[in-house]
Amino acid sequence: MLEHKLPNYHDNEPDAQTARDVRGSTRGDLLRTHMPSVVSIFRGMDNPAAPLASVLRRFNTRFKTWRCDQIGFGVEVLGSIWVHGGGTIRIGNNVRLDGRIAPIELHSARHALLELGDEVCIYGGTSIEAVESIQIGCRSVLRPFVKIIDNNFHPLRGDRNHRPPPARVLIEDDVIIGDHAIILPGARVESGARIGARSVISHRVPHGARVSGNPPRIDRIAQ
Amino acid sequence: MITQDSIQELAQRWGLWLSKRLQRAIGRLRARYMLRGAIIGRGVCATGRIKISNQGTLYIGRKVTFLGGMIPTQIIIHRGARLDIGDETLFNYGASIEVWNELTIGRRCMIASMVRIADGPGQTASVVRLGDNVWIAHGATIGPSAIIGEGSTLAAGSVLDRDVPPQTLAIGDPARFVGLNLLAGLSGRSSTTTATSPTGAVLSKESFQ
- pLDDT tens for A30-59 read 444 444 455 544 555 556 677 787 788 888
8 Å CB contact between B99 and B115: no
In this structure, the dihedral spanned by the alpha carbons of residues A28, A30, A36 and A37, taken in order and rounded to 10 degrees, is: 30
Of A155, A200, A209, A153, give the one whose Cα is nearest residue A181.
Answer: A200
Contact B180 A165 (CB under 8 A): no
Looking at the complex, report in whole angstroms how far the Cα of residue A161 sits from the nearest Cα belonging to chain B: 11
DSSP-derived letter for residue A165 is P
Identify the three-state secondary structure at position A44.
coil
Q: What is the mean pLDDT of residues A107-124?
A: 94
pLDDT value at residue A38? 53
Query: How confident is residue B148, by pLDDT bands cut at 50, 70 and 90?
Result: very high
Of A159, A166, A214, the CB nearest to B173: A214
B199, B206, B207: best to mutate for the A interface, most A CBs within 10 A: B199
Radius of gyration of chain A (CA): 24
Q: What percent of chain A has pLDDT over 70?
A: 78
Of A103, A104, A154, the CB nearest to B110: A154
Separation between Cα atoms, residue A146 and residue A179, nearest integer Å: 6
Contact B205 A202 (CB under 8 A): yes
8 Å CB contact between A218 and A211: yes
Q: How many CB atoms lie within 10 A of CB A119?
A: 19
Of A204, A205, A200, A197, give the one whose Cα is nearest residue A216.
Answer: A200
In this structure, the dihedral spanned by the alpha carbons of residues A98, B111, A115 and A205, taken in order and rounded to 10 degrees, is: -100
Separation between Cα atoms, residue A146 and residue A127, nearest integer Å: 6
Looking at the complex, report in whole angstroms how far the Cα of residue A129 sits from the nearest Cα belonging to chain B: 12
C-alpha distance from residue A41 to each of A34, A38, A52, A56, A57 (Å): 12, 5, 11, 17, 18
pLDDT value at residue A51? 75
Separation between Cα atoms, residue A221 and residue B25, nearest integer Å: 54
Contact B70 A103 (CB under 8 A): yes
Chain A / chain B CB contacts < 8 angstroms: 104
Sequence-separated (6 or more) residues with CB below 8 Å from residue A30: A20
Lowest mean pLDDT: which of A10-24, A96-110, A170-184, B60-74?
A: A10-24
Interface of B with A (CB under 8 A): 69-71, 108, 110, 113-114, 133, 135, 138-139, 151, 153, 155-159, 167, 169, 171-173, 180, 183-184, 196-201, 203-205, 207-209
CA triple B90-B153-B91, angle to 5 deg: 15
Q: Is the pLDDT of residue B204 over 60?
A: no
Looking at the complex, report in whole angstroms how far the Cα of residue B80 sits from the nearest Cα belonging to chain A: 32
Neighbouring-strand partners of residue A89: A114
Radius of gyration of chain B (CA): 19
Residue A152 touches partner B, C-beta closer than 8 Å: yes
Whole-prediction pTM value?
A: 0.79
Contact B156 A147 (CB under 8 A): yes
Q: Is the pLDDT of residue B1 over 80?
A: no
Q: Give the nearest chain B residue to A166 (CA atoms).
A: B201
Q: What is the mean pLDDT of residues B26-30?
A: 94
E strand intervals along chain B: 39-40, 45-46, 50-54, 57-60, 65-66, 73-77, 82-85, 90-91, 96-99, 102-105, 110-111, 116-118, 127-130, 135-136, 141-142, 146-148, 153-154, 159-160, 168-171, 176-179
Query: How confident is residue B165, by pLDDT bands cut at 50, 70 and 90?
Result: very high
pLDDT value at residue A46? 59
Q: Give the nearest chain A residue to B183 (CA atoms).
A: A156
8 Å CB contact between A92 and A73: no
Q: Is the pLDDT of residue B191 over 60?
A: no
Contact A160 B208 (CB under 8 A): no
